[in-house]
Amino acid sequence: MGFIHVTDRAGKRHELEAVEGWRVMEILRDHGVGMEGICGGACACATCHVVIDETWADRLHPPRDEEIDKLDELPLLHDGSRLSCQIIWGPDLDGLSLTIADD
Ligand code: FES
């Protein structure tokens, strides 16, 4: 067991219990912190857009071309922008810190 630290769109911090093997999008959605994940993780909607904290950005696997293409369709990107459905949570990501991006 481990945790993800999330800042929601209202600026409120949450510590969410994470589940190994789950997509980060699924963890955010199940905790009801304002993550939609409309396409269910098919990399087709970008409603799971998050901004990974600077200290964690280099510790994630790099995005695949499919994720990069979908991110490029968003009107506003940030350093650390990722699609949370493309990140599988495991113990190596215990303490992962991120912000849910604005719509
Ligand atoms: S849930 Fe649709 S792109 Fe991530």
The CA distance from 39 to 3, in Å, is 24
* pLDDT surpassing 90 at residue 1: no
* pLDDT surpassing 80 at residue 83: yes
What is the CA(70)–ligand 1 centre distance, in A?
9
* pLDDT surpassing 90 at residue 9: yes
* pLDDT surpassing 80 at residue 103: no
Residue 34 C-beta-side C-alpha neighbours within 13 Å: 16
What is the CA(29)–ligand 1 centre distance, in A?
11
- pLDDT tens-digit series, residues 33-82: 998 999 999 999 999 999 999 999 889 999 999 999 999 999 999 999 99
CATH superfamily of this structure's domain 2-100: Beta-grasp domain (3.10.20.30)
What is the CA(2)–ligand 1 centre distance, in A?
23
- The minimum-distance atom of ligand 1 relative to the CA of 37 is 1
- Give the binding-site residues of ligand 1, using a 6 Å CB cut-off: 25, 37-39, 41-48, 70, 83, 85
The pLDDT value recorded for residue 23 is: 97
The pLDDT value recorded for residue 92 is: 96
